[in-house]
Amino acid sequence: MPEEFHPRSAAALRVGPLKRGALGKTPDSEWELFERAQILAGKSLSAVARQLGRRTPRNLMGHKGWVGELLESALGAAAGSAPEPDFPVLGVELKTIPVTRDGRPRESTYVCTAPLIDNVSVRWKTSLVHRKLQRVLWIPIEAEPSVPLPVRRIGTALLWSPSAQEEQRLKRDWEELMELICMGELDQLRAHRGDCLQIRPKAANGQSLTTAIGQAGERIRTLPRGFYLRPSFTEAILREHFLIAT
């Protein structure tokens, strides 16, 4: 059996330096993925970037996805833009989540593109939202504006699956939102809809257009949309598993 498949001791997990080549290797199991994430806990973004041979930008303006991409590389996620979880074989989606000093999410969490056409046969359980949220490796990232990006720290990872109740809430929202899409009610498809899951524009700019269905069933051009998790939902996830003062 290859050496890298052996469990490591708890002591090694806490204080051991990263083995040469450890960063970026694709994990073969969920356990191995989680262990790699644990090793990153407490490290600064610039430290991880340095070990990967990457430069750390001064800030995120013009580099909005930099943190997520850094963690993808560090954990060996399959790079690319395929509409599937980051670790397809494991069925695990990786999400970095910017948090305040209190550990509360600063932003909503993008899930996936909202399908505006050819979606009539899609059910909750066959939806991309469902597939991506079945198993998520949440990695909180320190995101206080007063803390310079390079010294912001990576938090303790959380491997999460929705509870039955959480899944019901997601399913209800998904069905309500998809109903509007299928009925051509894009005017009513606004971000205020949805208890925990919402739909918002997801586009390069306001001129971006994609095809959707209008009220008369005709094809129309509209802004591309994406599914997002509300911060209140992700905050509850973190709070259930970590101790967060209220």
The percent helix, strand, coil of the chain (3-state, each to 5) is: 35, 20, 50
Q: Is 244 in the site for DNA (CB under 7 A)?
A: no
Q: Is 123 in the site for DNA (CB under 7 A)?
A: no
Give the x-and-dash track for 188-227 against DNA (CB under 7 A). Answer: --xxx-----x-xxxxxxxxxxxx-----------xx-x-
> Residues 2, 17, 53, 62: which binds DNA (CB under 7 A)?
62
The residue (of 36 and 95) whose beta carbon lies closer to DNA is 95
Q: Is 80 in the site for DNA (CB under 7 A)?
A: yes
Instruction: Using CB atoms within 10 Å of the CB of residue 99, give its burial: 0 to 12 exposed, 13 to 18 middle, 19+ buried.
Output: buried
Q: Is 61 in the site for DNA (CB under 7 A)?
A: yes
Give the x-and-dash track for 149-178 against DNA (CB under 7 A). Answer: ------------------------------
* Spatial CA neighbour of 23 closest among 2, 57, 1, 54: 54
Total residues found in the chain within this entry: 246
Q: Where are the alpha helices (DSSP H) in the chain?
A: 10-15, 30-40, 45-51, 66-75, 128-133, 164-182, 231-241
Give the x-and-dash track for 128-147 against DNA (CB under 7 A). Answer: x---x--------x-x----
At which residue do the structure tokens 């041979």 appear? 53
As a whole number of angstroms, the distance between CA 39 and CA 41 comes to 6
> Residues 38, 73, 113, 134: which binds DNA (CB under 7 A)?
113
> Residues 23, 75, 92, 94: which binds DNA (CB under 7 A)?
94
* Spatial CA neighbour of 151 closest among 219, 50, 37: 50
> Residues 67, 170, 186, 213: which binds DNA (CB under 7 A)?
67
Q: Report, in Å, the least distance between residue 21 CB and DNA.
A: 22
* Spatial CA neighbour of 29 closest among 159, 162, 164: 159
Query: How far is CA 130 from its chain centroid?
Result: 13
Q: Is 95 in the site for DNA (CB under 7 A)?
A: yes
As a whole number of angstroms, the distance between CA 126 and CA 51 comes to 39
Positions in the binding site for DNA (CB under 7 A): 59-65, 67-69, 71-72, 80-84, 86, 93-96, 98, 106-108, 110, 112-113, 115, 128, 132, 141, 143, 190-192, 198, 200-211, 223-224, 226, 230-232
